[in-house]
A and B are shown apart, each in its own frame.
Chain A
Amino acid sequence: MSEHTQDSISDSTITPPAVIAPGQTFASVTDKISSIALTRRTPVGWFIGAGISFALVLGLFYTIGYLVVTGIGIFGTNIPVGWAFPIINFVWWIGIGHAGTLISAILFLLRQPWRTSINRFAEAMTLFAVACAGLFPLLHTGRPWLAYWMLPYPNTMGVWPQFRSPLIWDVFAVSTYATVSALFWFVGLIPDLATLRDRARRRTAKIIYGMLAMGWRGSARHWHRYETTYALLAALATPLVVSVHTVVSFDFSIGIVPGWHATIFPPYFVAGAIYAGFAMVLTLAIPLRKFYGLEAFITMRHLRNMSKIMLATGLIVAYGYMMETFMSYYSGNTYERYMILNRFKGPYSAFYWTLIACNVVFPQLLWIRRVRHSVPALWAMSLVVGLGMWLERFIIVVTSLHRDFLPSSWAMYAPTFWDWSMFIGTIGLFLALIFLFVRFLPMISIFEIRGILPQAAVKESGD
């Protein structure tokens, strides 16, 4: 790793590093990526990692079972703090899901070829993160088995959902996002699934990949339809990047709670989500490229680009914090002012200052080229930002609620064992899905990588 880093740095002093390392051919690309799913022996590390993840998933199932049987009183949630870990985790996971769509759709539309190496697993990550996120709002309700009441379906009760509630908007926003992300991911997978089908040796693999490939033959007509669909889906997904987290932020900003009721929330949440999402992509990409030797496809250029996006969105988030503080002072509103002072020096001030350190102070190191070019530093940074974004949601949800209007109802909040087991369980679920994904599906888009090889560029120049 370190020698490679050295190379990249020396490269970059002259020209920007390539999106793909030199010396790759169509065949080598296909071989390298498809062999992970098909022929290469599953590394021992995969079994260890997947084993741990599945253990955590079992813990999650146990927690869910206990939760449904006992009630959400097993969590630390109480009356001033009516939302806590589940909502924090929901927003955090949804935020993480953002980078996938951003990379896939927006960068696709903007013709950023460097996205190709990372879009596949970023999309997968999105999907899995949304799956984890979706668990929380469902299970944090008092009666999860009635959650379908939030859907507008004709019913004998003659009652519709209450469309003024942001939670209903959430239902639509998140489910749309999940659907479009899944479609986008799957459509993008089809040509590669066909490749796997063709290269698979075992019969079961052939059948399964064959079914998933949906009869892809690689004809020009197929390719034409594919390109059209993909572009359309990308266009469809693009507004969702903005809308999902905007709607999620409405959950808070529609409320009258000081610390929630702020117009800055939508852009600030979206920026935060992209921030957290890219951090998570880095968190996953760096170990993956190392363990599977994919440095040729996920190059330093990718890492650096992502770190720059992180820096940019981090600055937007920092601006959000600044504006929040300024507005609470400038509004002259006593509740707002108290809310900020309480964040600064209240019982949860340590969390607040850690959040500022994680999200505002440390990322400033990314201004330094050496940090941007150091893989371990980037990985550490991504973890710090992930933590910081989680703390941000904690601060928004808990510190706003625990001291709101009437001091008589103020109270503290602390998570219980079950809060943690549910959170860690979803991390396990996420990782388990990632492990399955990298084992059975091409984690990097084979045909798109082939498309950006220099050999492929000849055609393009002919156009």
Chain B
Amino acid sequence: MHEGKMVELIKLKGIDRSKKDDKVQSVLRPLSITESLATSPQSLTPNPQPPTPNPQSLTPNPQHPNPTPHYWRSLEELAESEDFEELLHREFPERASEWSDPVGRRKFLKLMGGSLALAGLTACTRQPAEYIAPYVRQPEELVPGKPVFYATAMALDGFATGLIVESHEGRPTKVEGNKDHPASLGASDVFSQASVLALYDPDRSQTLTYLGEIVTWSAFLGGIRPAVVAQSAGAAPAQQSGAATAPQQPGAATAPQQPGAAGQSQQQPARSGLRILTGTVTSPTLGHQLKTLLATLPTAKWHQYEPAGCDNAREGSRMAFGQYANTIYQFDKADVVLSLDSDFLSCGSGNLRYAHDFASKRRLSESKRDMNRLYVVESTVTNTGSVADHRLPLRPSEVEGFARELAAAIGVQSARSGSPNGEGRANWIAVLSKDLAAHRGASIVVVGDSQPPVVHALAHSMNQSLGNVGNTVIYTDPVEANPVDGNASLRDLVADMNAGQVDVLLILGGNPVYNAPADLEFADALRKVRLRVHLSLYKDETSEFCQWHIPEAHFLESWSDARAYDGTISIIQPLIAPLYSGKTAHEVLSAVMGEPERSSYDIVRAYWSDRHAAGGQELPVKASVSTTSVSGENQTQPSPARSAQTNQSQPSATRQAKTPSPQFEQFWRKALHDGFVANTALPAKTLSAKSDSATQPPASPRSSSSQLEIVFRADPTIHDGRFSNNGWLQELPKPLSKLTWDNAAIVSPATAASLDLGKRIDQLATNRMGSIGGEILADRIELQYGDRKVTAPVFIQPGQPDNVITVHLGYGRTISGRIGTRTGFDAYSIRISDAPWFGSGLRVAKVGGTYSLATTQSHHLIDASVVGERDILRSQTLDEYSKHTSEGSHQEGGSHHEQSLYPAFAYDGYAWGMAIDLNSCIGCAACVVACVAENNIPVVGKEQVARSREMHWLRVDAYYKGGEQNPETYFQPVPCQQCENAPCELVCPVAATVHSAEGLNDMTYNRCVGTRYCSNNCPYKVRRFNFLLYQDFYTASLKMLRNPDVSVRSRGVMEKCTYCVQRIQRAKIESEKENRQVRDGEIVTACAQACPTEAIVFGNINDHASRVSRLKANERNYSLLGELNTRPRTTYLSAVRNKNSELENG
């Protein structure tokens, strides 16, 4: 059946199979269905005709019924032996020809009848029709089985991170950071790692709908154009009235006028208008498109809202400098860093780069024995606080007072505030100001996005008076195409909607119905808009409220561009054609402006072509004449005539006609190849903080310390909720709580005790563990904030400031998909626009019953003595470390390594090993998701995680040291330790896990019968078992996701980390082709590749010059549970904390 189709297809494509036979074969190879066909004799015979029952067709050359064969296939044929003649003339193989025997006809009919009946039975489970189409022309550079890598970028909250995406036969399967991109430097985060799963998510919106009915794109055009034209009809008089001036000049100059859009609407209060709501836009092309639209349609307005954006930082810069500015920190130059509620290592723009730079300053080696010092003052536990040398938990409202006091101590004139600070903090202020002052020009004060603008302004002043500006702190123009205060912008939009002034609303991405502050009642306001259009990846809460829903193209399917934290522009290029005919924001905007046939490729390329022609400067914005001019004419018909008209009327629209200059082609190719446009980082700008910037009274009245405060934070794994349908991210344990699939109200042990939550163990409130594995039976509380309420489970977290309850955003989605719907609780439902990040006056009431939370690590059990005694996590202060090394290094218990009756196995070739520097690890878990993506690790779901059956081959353990009020926190990534004396290998009854000659502890999945003895005997518990059928073998789109180099494991087998053995093999093959050894650094495991701090180093320990060997020679190197004599190949470098002796008791 398939065969026939394939032959037909090939015929249609006009391939002469007799000539291209080998080609067809090789093209077919990646398509597994065709594999068997390609080897079946019929499809291989050099026969240009489809097979027919006529035996003559098997003769070599049916076109010429010449008895003499032109070609011969074997010597027998040439010899025309009788056997061969017979074989040749037989239609069927010998045994099969019984059917032609007339005596057997009855039997034949009988069997036919029988098989027909059986065929009817099989029809009960209808096989899906699968069509195959081989390449007509083989794409260049595509060798089946060899991945191709393309550069692109992913924007999160507007800010781009450069990526390199691995593509197998046209399917993107794995995302890596782009080494050359300033925001990545080769690293990636959990969101970009998990983005491939989102691409293939079967729950993604797949069709354009109008009121829930599937309609066509042209129907949408027909629907939207009249509305837009109606806008432009009355707009002409207003065109010159300055409406378009504001967005014309990007950057700082426009900032003071913002939100200027509000002003316009006041001028023309009666007019309904077009509104566009986007997230933060840094894309130059999209920005230009939007500005062109605004210039063309003066009644139109553009709003930006980002639920977890950096509005406060933006407003803070405006407060300090009088204009919007972008701040770039250079942590690689900073010796002392103070973070005021900032999680700069894992959140916000540039966090990967910051983590990289921070770690580079922290790394200890034989030659470098000093490290930076990090002070963190924070209102909730974060990764940054966890790796701090000194951490001070403060209530969020107290941070401002702390900042003022510190600023005053540093010598910022305007900072004085009357409020005296709390007990014990005076010491901090004194020590901090001294330490910061001692490192003038080499320190950084960084403030988190959740702190109000005034704290940001204070930090700018502090950095200025510490001489950091220009050294470690750089200011540039804003990265955003049009920086606004998103919160205010959304509020304006809602006000306009409520006032009935919004006629058409285009929501380009985003999910405001779900994530707008609750007090804005966005959904109610939205109902008052006549025409609502929503472009998004998923049919979500907002789609429900919009007539039109357009499926958005995933960034791996779309052309676009975006800027990184420092302004560097990346061209986002697609790796695959849209799976579900999704549209990009560019295309929707273009359609709105009357050019529906322009693809995003045309738009982006044309923009860059023009920009290149203009010398690389941003293009001036001109009103698009075409949009207005069509108003009276055949507006709904995107005819070629009109596009010709466009070409004439607008210089920037002549792009299609114009052939790009060779220089542009070169520029374009280079930009695509490199993953960014060279020299587009924004230049440093000299700005000085206004002296009066911070004199205004404290933004929030200080609440009494007994009052409860609430802190809202973006979730560490699903961010603001946009990743809620991503199973990899849902199942990724949160950095500290190790919760999966849920958010929780996070409280400190003392607060929990006072609220009578959790379970008491020796007066200490802890989480109540369930009995089935990693389950927490959490108390439920009702959080009442203002007059809004939400019920949340409680998680007790050491280190959380007392009387502060942290809730993470992004959960409680009602319409998300099979994965994300109804997980956790909706923290947005109590978030208000006036205080989006924290506030006091929270009331808590205990609600009966418990809620089951699934966690992968149960902290409450772990008292420091157990961890300490077991020598699991070594840590020391820098002083201890320096003393130690000067006294002579203590080699870790190497003595019993040598004690064996037998000679050690000689690893002649490679001996793979890994070293993990605990001093660098920031617990971001990018390695975990990278491992999941690389190794086809399944998602098991919350219930299975609660049963302690998560499948992650690599986990990041977190350990606490010290009191539960403010413990030190350490992260420890634990992959398979690849023990040389592996306890697992000994006990496997079927030799499914064996040692390789390169020291890997290999796992043969096919051989595993699943006794789980290996896991029991593994002291590290890094083996994972498929208790149930966790892999989804049946969802078609997910089949494309899998890494073809790694087996997909089924039910009942054990699986584990093998140091990405597929990557090792690939590199070895390459090196053998070139007849050389694998170079150091040539093999990078998925975890090491993702790591922003380069904490994980992999290599050949037989090569003493390799990085991993050098790390293993370091005196900080130790084996986890080394005394068990498992002799792990993975070793750890102990953590070092740079304590300030003056603050030791702080």
A interface, CB within 8 angstroms of B: 70-74, 76-83, 137, 140-144, 146-147, 149-150, 159-162, 164-168, 171, 251, 254-257, 334-335, 338, 347, 401, 403-414
The docked-state distance in angstroms from the alpha carbon of A78 to that of B866 is 23
Residues in A neighbouring B578, C-beta threshold 8 A: none
Residues in B neighbouring A401, C-beta threshold 8 A: 1016
- A-contacting 9-mer, from B454-462, B537-545, B983-991: B983-991
Pairwise interchain contact A79-B1009, C-beta atoms closer than 8 A: no
Pairwise interchain contact B989-A79, C-beta atoms closer than 8 A: no
Pairwise interchain contact A83-B947, C-beta atoms closer than 8 A: no
Within 8 A of A (CB), among B986-1033: 986-991, 1007-1013, 1015-1017, 1019-1021, 1023-1029
Given contacts A146-B1009, A165-B1013, A413-B772, contact A408 B957 (CB under 8 A): yes
Q: Mark B762-784, 1 if CB is under 8 A from A, else 0.
A: 00000001111111000000000
Given contacts A255-B987, A335-B870, A406-B1121, contact A142 B1053 (CB under 8 A): yes
Pairwise interchain contact B1019-A412, C-beta atoms closer than 8 A: no
Pairwise interchain contact A73-B857, C-beta atoms closer than 8 A: no
Secondary structure dominating the interface of A? loop
Which of B774, B869, B870, B988 is in CB contact (< 8 Å) with A162?
Answer: B988
B interface, CB within 8 angstroms of A: 769-775, 857-858, 861-862, 866-867, 869-870, 872, 944, 947-949, 955, 957-959, 972, 974, 983, 986-991, 1007-1013, 1015-1017, 1019-1021, 1023-1029, 1051-1054, 1120-1121, 1124
Most buried by B among A76, A251, A405, A408: A408
Residues in B neighbouring A257, C-beta threshold 8 A: 1016-1017
Which of A82, A146, A405 is in CB contact (< 8 Å) with B1013?
Answer: A82
Distance (whole angstroms) from the CB of A363 to the closest CB of chain B? 30
Given contacts A78-B948, A142-B1052, A411-B948, contact A406 B1009 (CB under 8 A): no
Pairwise interchain contact A83-B1012, C-beta atoms closer than 8 A: yes
Pairwise interchain contact B858-A411, C-beta atoms closer than 8 A: yes
Residues in B neighbouring A335, C-beta threshold 8 A: 870
The docked-state distance in angstroms from the alpha carbon of A384 to that of B475 is 78
**From B993, which residue of chain A is reached at the shortest CB distance?**
A162
Pairwise interchain contact B987-A141, C-beta atoms closer than 8 A: no
Distance (whole angstroms) from the CB of A318 to the closest CB of chain B? 27
Distance (whole angstroms) from the CB of A406 to the closest CB of chain B? 6
Query: 4 tightest CB-CB pairs across the interface, nearest first?
Result: A142-B1010, A142-B1052, A73-B1027, A73-B1028
**From A165, which residue of chain B is reached at the shortest CB distance?**
B989
**From A166, which residue of chain B is reached at the shortest CB distance?**
B987
Pairwise interchain contact A79-B987, C-beta atoms closer than 8 A: no
Distance (whole angstroms) from the CB of B862 to the closest CB of chain A? 5
**From B1024, which residue of chain A is reached at the shortest CB distance?**
A79
Residues in B neighbouring A143, C-beta threshold 8 A: 1008-1010, 1051-1053
Number of A-B contacts defined by CB within 8 Å: 175
The docked-state distance in angstroms from the alpha carbon of A88 to that of B947 is 19
Secondary structure dominating the interface of B? loop
The docked-state distance in angstroms from the alpha carbon of A284 to that of B309 is 73
The docked-state distance in angstroms from the alpha carbon of A410 to that of B476 is 49
> Can you identify 30 A-B contacts, CB atoms within 8 angstroms?
A72-B1052, A73-B944, A73-B949, A73-B1028, A76-B772, A83-B1012, A137-B1011, A146-B1009, A162-B991, A166-B987, A167-B1011, A171-B989, A255-B987, A255-B1017, A256-B1017, A257-B1017, A334-B869, A335-B870, A347-B769, A404-B1019, A405-B870, A405-B1124, A407-B867, A407-B870, A408-B857, A408-B862, A409-B857, A410-B858, A410-B861, A411-B774
Distance (whole angstroms) from the CB of B1057 to the closest CB of chain A? 14
Seed contacts A161-B991, A167-B989; 14 additional CB < 8 Å A-B pairs:
A72-B1027, A73-B1027, A79-B773, A79-B1025, A83-B1012, A146-B1009, A162-B990, A254-B986, A334-B870, A405-B1020, A406-B1121, A411-B773, A412-B771, A412-B773
Pairwise interchain contact B1009-A149, C-beta atoms closer than 8 A: yes
Most buried by A among B775, B948, B1028: B948
Distance (whole angstroms) from the CB of A236 to the closest CB of chain B? 26
**From A407, which residue of chain B is reached at the shortest CB distance?**
B862
Distance (whole angstroms) from the CB of A407 to the closest CB of chain B? 5
**From B1026, which residue of chain A is reached at the shortest CB distance?**
A142
Pairwise interchain contact A76-B947, C-beta atoms closer than 8 A: yes
Distance (whole angstroms) from the CB of B925 to the closest CB of chain A? 14
Residues in A neighbouring B769, C-beta threshold 8 A: 347, 412
Pairwise interchain contact A255-B1016, C-beta atoms closer than 8 A: yes
Distance (whole angstroms) from the CB of A71 to the closest CB of chain B? 4
The docked-state distance in angstroms from the alpha carbon of A141 to that of B858 is 27
Pairwise interchain contact B1012-A71, C-beta atoms closer than 8 A: no
Residues in A neighbouring B957, C-beta threshold 8 A: 406, 408
**From B1120, which residue of chain A is reached at the shortest CB distance?**
A406
Distance (whole angstroms) from the CB of B389 to the closest CB of chain A? 23
Most buried by B among A80, A82, A251, A405: A82
Residues in B neighbouring A405, C-beta threshold 8 A: 870, 1019-1021, 1121, 1124
The docked-state distance in angstroms from the alpha carbon of A409 to that of B1024 is 12
The docked-state distance in angstroms from the alpha carbon of A76 to that of B771 is 10
Pairwise interchain contact B990-A413, C-beta atoms closer than 8 A: no
Residues in B neighbouring A81, C-beta threshold 8 A: 948
Distance (whole angstroms) from the CB of B10 to the closest CB of chain A? 37
**From B775, which residue of chain A is reached at the shortest CB distance?**
A412
Which of A142, A161, A171, A407 is in CB contact (< 8 Å) with B861?
Answer: A407
Distance (whole angstroms) from the CB of A208 to the closest CB of chain B? 38
Residues in A neighbouring B773, C-beta threshold 8 A: 78-79, 411-413
Which of A147, A161, A406 is in CB contact (< 8 Å) with B1020?
Answer: A406
Pairwise interchain contact B987-A254, C-beta atoms closer than 8 A: yes
The docked-state distance in angstroms from the alpha carbon of A166 to that of B1017 is 12
Which of B870, B990, B1008, B1015 is in CB contact (< 8 Å) with A82?
Answer: B1015
Pairwise interchain contact B858-A150, C-beta atoms closer than 8 A: no
Pairwise interchain contact A79-B1015, C-beta atoms closer than 8 A: yes
Pairwise interchain contact B949-A165, C-beta atoms closer than 8 A: no
**From B983, which residue of chain A is reached at the shortest CB distance?**
A256
**From A256, which residue of chain B is reached at the shortest CB distance?**
B983
Residues in A neighbouring B857, C-beta threshold 8 A: 408-409
Residues in A neighbouring B988, C-beta threshold 8 A: 162, 165
The docked-state distance in angstroms from the alpha carbon of A140 to that of B1027 is 11
**From B1022, which residue of chain A is reached at the shortest CB distance?**
A409
Distance (whole angstroms) from the CB of A59 to the closest CB of chain B? 21
Distance (whole angstroms) from the CB of B937 to the closest CB of chain A? 14
Given contacts A256-B1017, A257-B1016, A411-B858, contact A168 B989 (CB under 8 A): yes
Residues in B neighbouring A147, C-beta threshold 8 A: 1009
The docked-state distance in angstroms from the alpha carbon of A71 to that of B983 is 26
Distance (whole angstroms) from the CB of A227 to the closest CB of chain B? 40
Residues in B neighbouring A167, C-beta threshold 8 A: 987, 989, 1011, 1013
Pairwise interchain contact B1028-A70, C-beta atoms closer than 8 A: yes
Pairwise interchain contact A71-B1052, C-beta atoms closer than 8 A: yes
Residues in B neighbouring A149, C-beta threshold 8 A: 990, 1007, 1009
Given contacts A80-B1021, A167-B989, contact A159 B955 (CB under 8 A): no
Residues in B neighbouring A403, C-beta threshold 8 A: 861
Distance (whole angstroms) from the CB of A143 to the closest CB of chain B? 4
Pairwise interchain contact B989-A162, C-beta atoms closer than 8 A: yes
Residues in B neighbouring A168, C-beta threshold 8 A: 989
Distance (whole angstroms) from the CB of B1068 to the closest CB of chain A? 24
Pairwise interchain contact A412-B1021, C-beta atoms closer than 8 A: no
The docked-state distance in angstroms from the alpha carbon of A171 to that of B1011 is 13
Which of B771, B772, B955, B1008 is in CB contact (< 8 Å) with A408?
Answer: B955
**From A76, which residue of chain B is reached at the shortest CB distance?**
B772
Which of A150, A166, A256, A408 is in CB contact (< 8 Å) with B1009?
Answer: A150
The docked-state distance in angstroms from the alpha carbon of A334 to that of B1121 is 12
Residues in A neighbouring B1028, C-beta threshold 8 A: 70-71, 73-74
Given contacts A141-B1052, A407-B862, contact A77 B989 (CB under 8 A): no
Residues in B neighbouring A412, C-beta threshold 8 A: 769-773, 775
Residues in B neighbouring A408, C-beta threshold 8 A: 857, 862, 955, 957-959, 972, 974
Distance (whole angstroms) from the CB of B1013 to the closest CB of chain A? 6
**From B772, which residue of chain A is reached at the shortest CB distance?**
A414
The docked-state distance in angstroms from the alpha carbon of A8 to that of B972 is 69
